[in-house]
Amino acid sequence: MITKTQLINSLNNLPENLTVDQVIDHIIFVEKVQSGLDDVANGKVSTKDEARDKLKKWLK
């Protein structure tokens, strides 16, 4: 989960002129990155071999 402080800091680094869609896209991107970092911190990751096995199943 992204905190309000993280979101505000992230938005402060954006250009002054943005569309609402660009802001929403940025918020979604930041949240997804944070979610991935949270997964890593909680050990919810796959090894390269596990990822290959999953891809083999998907690509059949």
pLDDT of residue 47: 93
- Mean pLDDT score of the chain: 93
Number of domains into which the chain is organized: 1
Residues 19 and 3: beta-carbon distance below 8 Å: no
Based on its alpha-carbon atoms, the radius of gyration of the chain, rounded to whole angstroms, reads 16
pLDDT of residue 40: 95
pLDDT in tens, 7-34: 999 999 999 999 999 999 999 999 999 9
Angle at 15 between CA 6 and CA 34, to 5 degrees: 25
Does this model's pTM top 0.85? Answer: no
The residue segments making up the domain with residue 30 are 4-58
